[in-house]
Amino acid sequence: MKSKLQRNCLILSAVSYAIVIYGLCVLCSCAGWKPNHWTKADTAREAAFLTVLAVDYGQTADIVDSPEYYELNPILGRDPSIQQVRWYFAGCAIGHYCVARIAPTDFHGLNLRKWWQHIWIVIEGGQVWKNASIGIGWRF
């Protein structure tokens, strides 16, 4: 059973994603942004992110079943259930795609979509590497 703090963190995470998405929409509409088409490069970056996210999911699922490791993600809490892990990672995948989809590709000369995708590939890749370096495997 989740503690009150864990539930509040999960709610805060969902609200944070909603605020980021809403803020990007408002910012983009104020700047006169019009949707850009989705390119093959965008698809490749999103696939790369989803791949490292899937490996992180597998590692987190392995942590759930392992008595020697515990989860450090404050949103999931120290001992999440596999169902909580599934919902969390599904939300991350959907939220990431939504932000990538609406992020402008030419915002004052910056491709924010590309930056968003690259930053999160590095963050997730770093987490996967850290988990692997301490011996955490993965399962699906």
**pLDDT, tens digit (0-9, with 9 covering 90-100), for 12-43:** 666 666 677 667 666 666 656 566 789 999 99
Within-domain flag for 26: yes
| 139 within some domain | no
pLDDT in tens, 36-65: 789 999 999 999 999 999 999 999 999 998
Per the structure, how many domains does the chain have? Answer: 1
Give the per-residue pLDDT at 35: 61
Residue 108 placed within a domain: yes
pLDDT score of 4: 65
Is 138 part of a structural domain of the chain? no
The confidence band for 107, taking pLDDT boundaries of 50, 70 and 90, is confident
Evaluate whether residue 92 is within a structural domain: yes
Examine residue 70 and state whether it is found in any structural domain, yes or no. yes
Residue 140, in any domain of the structure: no
pTM: 0.76
Residue 104 above 80 pLDDT?
Answer: yes
Q: Are 94 and 26 in contact (CB under 8 A)?
A: no
- Which residue range(s) make up the domain with 60? 4-133
Residue 25 lies in a domain: yes
Instruction: Categorize the per-residue pLDDT at 134 as very low, low, confident or very high, splitting at 50, 70 and 90.
Output: very high
- At 78-92, the pLDDT tens digits run 999 999 999 999 999
Q: pLDDT: is 98 or 8 the higher one?
A: 98
- Angle formed at CA 64 by CA 60 and CA 67, multiple of 5 degrees: 125
98-118: average pLDDT: 90
Closest CA to 90 of 125, 67, 60, 133: 60
Whether 139 and 58 have beta carbons less than 8 Å apart is answered as yes
User: Both tokens of residue 38?
Assistant: 């989705």
